[in-house]
Amino acid sequence: MIIIDSEPKNDVYRSLVDLAFDLCDEFILVVRKEIKLNGNVKSVLEKLKPHLEEMKEQSKWAGTELECGSTAYVHHYHTNPEAREIIKEVLNSLYGWVQHDFSEDLSFYKNGKPWLVNIAHEKISHILSEDKSEIDRIVNIIGLEISIK
């Protein structure tokens, strides 16, 4: 596991997003039902609509499990060049993906398994990879502060 020690912002964020889009086939954004949506959330969801694979009502997703039968709407998207540019243009920080301003917990999946897990409101994120070439690419992101566990 690769722990991200400080928030990826600006060029570091964009480089990490580029790598995730290169390696993963899906990403998610979460909309909590109990938190009011503002115009940013709706705008981003609308821009990403052509890339939506499916939206599921779930109580569990990468890094999060809700209590007491609560659920949220988890939007599953295909990774592709257009979606990549939207994700990079909307925000310039990984922990900015917090509702009420935006959808929550931008995370990436590779072959159905979590790869980049982001719990934005807690400022916690990590990457799950044991692939040497992937780890080398992660380590080579200039400015990305990580610990390998």
The amino acid that residue 43 corresponds to is S
- In the chain, where are the structural domains located? 2-140
Cα gap 98→121, rounded to integer Å: 6
**Average pLDDT of the residues in 101-121:** 95
For 43-87, how does the pLDDT look when each residue is reduced to its tens digit (9 = 90+)? 899 999 999 999 999 999 988 888 888 999 999 999 999 999 999
Looking at every residue in the chain, the average pLDDT score rounds to 94
- Pick left, alpha or beta for residue 75 (phi over 0 → left; psi -120 to 50 → alpha; otherwise beta): beta
Cα gap 103→52, rounded to integer Å: 14
The amino acid that residue 138 corresponds to is I
pTM of the predicted structure, to 2 decimals: 0.94
- Pick left, alpha or beta for residue 24 (phi over 0 → left; psi -120 to 50 → alpha; otherwise beta): beta
For 24-48, how does the pLDDT look when each residue is reduced to its tens digit (9 = 90+)? 999 999 998 877 777 778 889 999 9
**Average pLDDT of the residues in 91-118:** 94
